[in-house]
Structure 1
Amino acid sequence: MNTAHGPYLISSTGIYHGKRIKYHNRYVDQFLGIYYAEIPKSLKKPIKKRFNYTIQNATKFSPYCMQSIMMAENLSYGSFVMQQSFNDNCLSLNIYRADLRHGEERKAIMLFSHGGSNQLGGGSLFDGSILASEGDIIVITMNFRLNYHGFLSSGDSRVRGNYGLWDQLLAVEWIYENAHLFGGDPHRIVLAGHSAGAGNVMLIPASPYCRGMVKRVISQSGTGLAPWSINRNPFKLLERFSQDFNCVRSDEQEMFNCVYQLLENSNGDIYRLHLSLNIADDNPYPVIDYDFINDTIENVLQSDVYKNVDFLTGVTLNEGLYFAEYHIKHLLNGLSNQSLSMGKAPLREKRSIIFPNSTAIIAPDITFTTNLENDKRLKEISEQSASTEQLASSLNVSILLERFVKVNYIERYIDANFQHGKCFMDKVKKKYELSANKDVTTRLKLYIDLVSDLMFNFHMVRCLNLRAMVPKINSTNYAYVYAHRPTFKVKSAFRDQKLLPDAVGHFAELDYVFGVPLARNYSRIHRNVNMSFYNYTSDEINFSRKIIRYWSNFIKTGNPNLNPSFPDKVDVEWKSYTNKNHDYLYFQLNNIHNEISYFDSMYDFWLKCFQIEDQGGCTKGKIRKHLALFLFICSSIFILTISYLIWKYFQMKKKRTIIRS
């Protein structure tokens, strides 16, 4: 409903007064900071927001959910930068709606789950106005609980975990129930996510509680099969959390009570402490809790649950760029192999990976209101962090990489991620190390490929292949590779020192999906979001429009080439990914084209490695092969013996018959 005083939205939780901005010759309505749920208590499922009978102001964002203050200060995510406050009352969403025209059909809805390792970030990082206007859709971003508030778990019913996923599911439910009230189509709800958010949006439709509310999924730079998307040993992390905050008790229930109390009374300082003391190299993530998620994602992808869910996924050309840079810089300073785990960089260092624009990790003037008994530990970590950064900045990348080669980086990376990596170590080194005589850039590129393949690429292809094998599937699959370097400034020694000036790392595509290059025509953009008016070229502006068209077409129809409202065809047909044809759309400036079987050789290589790992190693694998051969021989001998005895029996019977006659 629009009036002279701005747009209003009537929903199941209240009446909201939003604001209207103009983009080109079209208006976009914004409803910001709408609370969709309440948190009754820490480590509990969210509950629906009660109806508020007063008209509520929906022109400002709500605070973020609780997260590390140090990591979130001057938070940046590619070109998206924001400073925000934090609060326990944070479960809100932001609606961006292209203006409703008389008689037009209800609009498809994209709900976006932000990345940040499920530890950081918030919905208001991303302004959906341009994407909504250019794509003629409704874009919604959301907050959900993060870190220990959102994902701490004991691995059983005592602390089930997945609270951040329950939050997101309730956001989906709010949208499903209220879509018709703000011009949306409840039967075209599309979940989109980036990085950890990409894993989240694959897990939500897998839940039996979702009940078919999600029509499509867009999974950018991550999937629910990635090694970092599911925590396989949650109790170990809970124990470590308890140790670092003096909650260890002889009675486990007392330990849980201490943890509950700690999180219930946290005010942000706990996260300042948490970051500085480097609680865990492993972060709290979703778990298989047999409630929200009651089966493996592999099984769910091939079940009836996903048969009707359209799927679009992809990666950037060099996804592992910033993660590999972290490894090279910090392994040289004596970090353990644990820091090389796939996507599990220590939180106190991870800020420079996920948010490369960020400044120093540990500031000298920080004070803590929490009672600290670990000043010595804090000082040691601060000194170690400063030493690491000093080492990294004092040497050029060539020297760093030379040193990195000498510490057997391939062996250390594989050992950190595979229990039986020695079984295929030589093959991995042959593929990703080649010769020590290779130049620095080549070796660097190969290591980035290794990290990219293990953290992102292999699991994306596995996801596509599992879906493609499902018989009589009623949905579509599309895959992409994004290969245009980011225009925004990213703090990367590899790029700064011209070793890989055109590298395309994590989150490179996001500014083009959200239409940042078009922001020069968006005079009333919300200034809390730094959409950073970089010097985009006219080609890049057109490139962004093309990407938005593919994305919005898929959101509307499940086919990125098809848009009933605009009969004009896209420039390049995006071919679907099938069991027979492994097609990818390759996004390169002025050269969008299809690639066939782009990752097939990589996938086949790692599939064999993972099979060895799943079999329990090369020794057990050989034993199994020998045992299988032995059983085959024995069974063959047995069958031949039985056949011979039967033949002999009938021969003797035949002779007796002849003699009698």
Structure 2
Amino acid sequence: MEKLQILLAVVLSLGTASAASLGVVQTEGGSVQGQNIPLGFFRSVDVFKGIPFAARPETFEKPKPHPGWDGILKATKFAKRCLQISMLQTSSFGSEDCLHLNIWVPHGRHVSSNLPVMIWLYGGGFMVGGSMGPNFLNNYLYSGQEIADRGNVIVVSVGYRVGVLGFLSTGDSQLPGNYGLWDQHAAIAWVNRNIRSFGGDPDSITIFGESAGGASVSFQTLSPHNKGLFKRAISQSGVAFCPWAMNRNPRKVAEQVAEKVGCPTDDRMVACLKSTDIETLTMAAPTVVQGNPDHPGVKNLLLSPVVDGDFLPDQPGNLFHNAADIDYLAGVNNMDGHLFTAQDIPSLGNKNQETPVEDVKRLLAAYTKEKGQAGLKVAFAEYSSNWGSTPSQDTIKKTAVDIGTDYIFLVPIQTAIYLHAANAISGRTYSYLLSEPSLMAGPGKPYYDWVGSDHADDLQYVFGKPFTTPKAYGDRQRDLSGYMIAYWTNFARTGDPNRGNLKVPVTWPELTSTRHQFLDINGKMNESSIGQEMRLRFVHLWTSTLPSLPSHGVTEAQ
């Protein structure tokens, strides 16, 4: 027995000792050296943290190339995240010098070469977010290690400006906005130019992101500035059409910010804003108010991308020709709206409190405001059509969540998916619905047992948390995480989620203009996981029935 243990120890030490590593890598800015983490028998991952992809940005200016460095940059510590407001909106943290990226490169017996590359764009409503180090409770949500190791792909996460510094705009050339989108673009271009030195294939780059990151991915596919820089894209719970993803009246927000920081709102405004202290600017972001169904929180996310005539030369709906050769995979969580609707109608998430039908109507009225009473009547009739005469509290609460999910996420995402398929030349289109029940749902837990996949629930599975923190999850969640990593990395490798290095449980059909099929993803998948025309009645309601009603003379405050 002892001999066997010694032999095993020798074999293991050989395996880790001979794990491959890149060592010092040459980039356009200079040499970088990361850290090699052995993962087991002839398996390791090189991690590079905090490599600058652009210079420290100037306030309200596009990013510029990094001047480079002398000697070897020790890329072993995360950079600071971009300057942003705290979750409670009471303080700010981070740095303006935040245009850095992190890279995970997996190796087997030999140093990797020609691997597919996946670039991650984080969410946070364009207001907050970061992929630099722990997100909460010392848990680093966006570590690329599991995806890289299991899928044999290179994972890159990037920093981009958010909030006032990332998205303030006057709606004209004085302060065009979209600085955060330009940062993402600069990072994608840097990866395209430099990733070969890290063993990546610049002709096989996929960008992926969730929420505002998913919308960012969508904007990047639509911008003419990215021609040829990446081949595929994945949008999780966010696209350009989401009601929070674009500001149609940015000037109003710019004037509010100017007033808050004591700048005039006339032709001196922009010069004054540019000379204002960056922490003061960050704190002047419009406050996100919650807890009132008449003013849903999602309507307060006012610092977002704009049609600037440059990065986005036109309305998103007119730019899909730019994505015609990009493979696109996009989807939604079946209760993506739960998080937001439970904030707008506080009784919704409280198991001891009834939700009045009136509150559901008030929320719907806020979403259909431009169509007045007629819009509310049509929409409410559609959503309550299966209620019967005495709907249960579960039915009422679930309907409110459906309304939030449809309006904030599902319908805009379906619109983008259909438009991609309709304009595609060589690009393929794939659609999904994540329906895994929430881990927070059930007896003795905060959520009702009917709560499905809430907003951001997909992240833990895509990033392999059930493998890295096994005690917090069961086998079902590990299966699901394995499925998602398989579909996502196969797609990054071949443009087809079914073909690649990893086996998948169900063949995911392509969505075409004539066949609107989608995959229902959860921990127990089988042949019946293929769906058809996702929530078509409600997609039709929001994209056709309501828009055809006469407007009520109310223009959106946005």
Counterparts of residues 343-422 of structure 1 (less than 5 Å): 396-402=350-356, 405-406=357-358, 408-422=359-373
C-alpha distance in structure 2 between counterparts of 1:478 and 1:572, whole Å: 14
The size of the alignment, in residue pairs, is: 515
* Amino acid across the alignment from 2:131: G
Counterparts of residues 563-574 of structure 1 (less than 5 Å): 563=500, 565=501, 569-574=503-508
* 2:312 corresponds to which of 287, 293, 304: 293
Q: 2:468 maps to what in 1?
A: 519
Q: 1:315 is paired with a residue of what secondary structure?
A: strand
C-alpha distance in structure 2 between counterparts of 1:537 and 1:419, whole Å: 46
Unaligned 5+ segments in structure 2 are: 1-17, 136-141, 290-296, 554-558
* Cα 1:314–1:3 shift into 2, 3 Å: closer
C-alpha distance in structure 2 between counterparts of 1:296 and 1:127, whole Å: 34
Residue 172 (structure 1) aligned with residue 188 (structure 2): yes
Q: 1:509 is paired with a residue of what secondary structure?
A: helix
* 1:213 corresponds to which of 229, 233, 236: 229
Residue 577 (structure 1) aligned with residue 511 (structure 2): yes
Larger relative helix fraction: 1
* 1:192 corresponds to which of 182, 203, 208: 208
C-alpha distance in structure 1 between counterparts of 2:524 and 2:366, whole Å: 41
* Cα 1:145–1:513 shift into 2, 3 Å: same
Residue 466 (structure 1) aligned with residue 400 (structure 2): no
Residue 308 (structure 1) aligned with residue 259 (structure 2): no
Q: CA deviation at 1:495?
A: 8.8
Counterparts of residues 8-157 of structure 1 (less than 5 Å): 8-25=24-41, 26-71=43-88, 86-99=94-107, 102=110, 105-124=113-132, 125=135, 126-157=142-173
C-alpha distance in structure 1 between counterparts of 2:208 and 2:508, whole Å: 19
C-alpha distance in structure 1 between counterparts of 2:464 and 2:408, whole Å: 27
- Given that 1:318 and 1:505 are in contact with CA atoms closer than 8 Å, whether structure 2 keeps it comes out as yes
Residue 457 (structure 1) aligned with residue 394 (structure 2): no
C-alpha distance in structure 1 between counterparts of 2:63 and 2:112, whole Å: 35
Q: 2:339 is paired with a residue of what secondary structure?
A: helix
Q: 2:497 maps to what in 1?
A: 560
**Per-residue displacement from partner, 1:363-413 (whole Å, max 9, x unpaired)?**
xxxxxxxxxxxxxxxxxxxxxxxxxxxxx79x94453513xx34x542453
Q: CA deviation at 1:427?
A: 2.1
* Amino acid across the alignment from 2:151: G
Query: Relative contact order (C-alpha < 8 Å, sep 6+): which is higher?
Result: 1
Q: 1:595 is paired with a residue of what secondary structure?
A: strand
C-alpha distance in structure 2 between counterparts of 1:455 and 1:259, whole Å: 32
Q: 1:535 maps to what in 2?
A: 472
Q: 2:345 is paired with a residue of what secondary structure?
A: helix
- Given that 2:261 and 2:281 are in contact with CA atoms closer than 8 Å, whether structure 1 keeps it comes out as no
C-alpha distance in structure 1 between counterparts of 2:89 and 2:255, whole Å: 25
C-alpha distance in structure 2 between counterparts of 1:129 and 1:297, whole Å: 34
Q: CA deviation at 1:168?
A: 0.5
- Given that 1:494 and 1:501 are in contact with CA atoms closer than 8 Å, whether structure 2 keeps it comes out as no
Q: 2:531 maps to what in 1?
A: 595
Counterparts of residues 484-499 of structure 1 (less than 5 Å): 484-487=436-439, 496=445, 499=448
Q: TM-score, normalised by structure 1?
A: 0.73
Q: 2:258 maps to what in 1?
A: 242
Unaligned 5+ segments in structure 1 are: 75-83, 330-391, 521-532, 619-661
- Given that 1:114 and 1:197 are in contact with CA atoms closer than 8 Å, whether structure 2 keeps it comes out as yes
C-alpha distance in structure 2 between counterparts of 1:561 and 1:4, whole Å: 29
C-alpha distance in structure 1 between counterparts of 2:88 and 2:199, whole Å: 37
Q: CA deviation at 1:273?
A: 6.4
Q: CA deviation at 1:57?
A: 1.3
Q: CA deviation at 1:475?
A: 1.2
* Cα 1:181–1:612 shift into 2, 3 Å: same
* Amino acid across the alignment from 2:278: S
* 2:197 corresponds to which of 160, 169, 181: 181
Q: 1:258 maps to what in 2?
A: 272
Q: 2:454 maps to what in 1?
A: 505
Higher mean displacement: 186-195 or 50-59: 50-59
- Given that 1:486 and 1:509 are in contact with CA atoms closer than 8 Å, whether structure 2 keeps it comes out as no
* Amino acid across the alignment from 2:396: R
* Cα 1:202–1:396 shift into 2, 3 Å: closer
* 2:435 corresponds to which of 475, 480, 483: 483
C-alpha distance in structure 1 between counterparts of 2:466 and 2:71, whole Å: 39
Residue 444 (structure 1) aligned with residue 401 (structure 2): no
C-alpha distance in structure 2 between counterparts of 1:227 and 1:156, whole Å: 21
Q: CA deviation at 1:465?
A: 1.5
* Cα 1:605–1:270 shift into 2, 3 Å: closer
Q: 1:176 is paired with a residue of what secondary structure?
A: helix
* Amino acid across the alignment from 1:611: P
C-alpha distance in structure 2 between counterparts of 1:282 and 1:73, whole Å: 17
* Cα 1:206–1:276 shift into 2, 3 Å: closer
Q: TM-score, normalised by structure 2?
A: 0.86
Q: 2:530 is paired with a residue of what secondary structure?
A: strand
Higher mean displacement: 477-486 or 132-141: 477-486
Show structure 1 runs of 4+ deviating over 6 A.
Answer: 2-6, 275-280, 492-495
C-alpha distance in structure 2 between counterparts of 1:459 and 1:23, whole Å: 41
**Per-residue displacement from partner, 1:99-130 (whole Å, max 9, x unpaired)?**
16548650111101000001111123410001
C-alpha distance in structure 2 between counterparts of 1:449 and 1:428, whole Å: 12
**Per-residue displacement from partner, 1:278-336 (whole Å, max 9, x unpaired)?**
799342100000011102211111x1x2111000001111010011101112xxxxxxx
**Per-residue displacement from partner, 1:350-369 (whole Å, max 9, x unpaired)?**
xxxxxxxxxxxxxxxxxxxx
* 2:482 corresponds to which of 503, 526, 545: 545
- Given that 2:437 and 2:452 are in contact with CA atoms closer than 8 Å, whether structure 1 keeps it comes out as yes
- Given that 2:163 and 2:285 are in contact with CA atoms closer than 8 Å, whether structure 1 keeps it comes out as no
Q: CA deviation at 1:148?
A: 0.4
- Given that 2:85 and 2:128 are in contact with CA atoms closer than 8 Å, whether structure 1 keeps it comes out as yes
C-alpha distance in structure 2 between counterparts of 1:277 and 1:448, whole Å: 20
- Given that 1:324 and 1:448 are in contact with CA atoms closer than 8 Å, whether structure 2 keeps it comes out as yes
Q: CA deviation at 1:38?
A: 1.5
C-alpha distance in structure 1 between counterparts of 2:211 and 2:445, whole Å: 24
- Given that 2:89 and 2:287 are in contact with CA atoms closer than 8 Å, whether structure 1 keeps it comes out as no
C-alpha distance in structure 2 between counterparts of 1:283 and 1:444, whole Å: 27
Counting aligned pairs with the same residue, the percent is: 28
C-alpha distance in structure 1 between counterparts of 2:37 and 2:90, whole Å: 28
- Given that 2:59 and 2:274 are in contact with CA atoms closer than 8 Å, whether structure 1 keeps it comes out as yes
C-alpha distance in structure 2 between counterparts of 1:240 and 1:495, whole Å: 44
Q: CA deviation at 1:584?
A: 1.0
C-alpha distance in structure 1 between counterparts of 2:48 and 2:55, whole Å: 19
C-alpha distance in structure 2 between counterparts of 1:73 and 1:496, whole Å: 30
C-alpha distance in structure 2 between counterparts of 1:318 and 1:277, whole Å: 22
* Amino acid across the alignment from 2:105: R
* Amino acid across the alignment from 2:409: F
C-alpha distance in structure 1 between counterparts of 2:490 and 2:66, whole Å: 33
CA radius of gyration, larger in: 1
- Given that 2:45 and 2:105 are in contact with CA atoms closer than 8 Å, whether structure 1 keeps it comes out as yes
C-alpha distance in structure 2 between counterparts of 1:185 and 1:6, whole Å: 15
Considering only aligned residues, what root-mean-square deviation do their CA atoms show, in Å?
2.9
* Cα 1:97–1:421 shift into 2, 3 Å: farther
- Given that 1:415 and 1:421 are in contact with CA atoms closer than 8 Å, whether structure 2 keeps it comes out as no
* Cα 1:40–1:518 shift into 2, 3 Å: closer
Q: CA deviation at 1:253?
A: 2.6
C-alpha distance in structure 1 between counterparts of 2:437 and 2:89, whole Å: 25
